Amino acid sequence: MTRHSKEWLDEKQIKLYDYKKFSEPKEVGRGGYGTVYKTAIKRLDFAFKKSSIEEKDEKNEKIIQRFDRE
């Protein structure tokens, strides 16, 4: 986990889910930083995006700003 993702989690800008709670995720799209899936969790339907950023990119503000906008 990068410094930025930890800050986003601490500030509740993003939420971390346990993948084991998802049922039958279906891919619905792809982007520069991740894949978008549609799934259900606790009987609620919603879409989520699995995103990642490499540690080497963590210090690149342009990449961080783009990732944040995603």
Residues 6+ apart with CB under 8 A from 30: 36
- Count the alpha carbons within 13 Å of 6 in the hemisphere toward its beta carbon: 5
Task: Give me the residue label for tokens 């995720």.
Answer: 25
Residue 50 assigned to a binding site: no
Query: Residues forming the annotated binding site for ATP?
Result: 49
Query: Residues forming the annotated binding site?
Result: 49
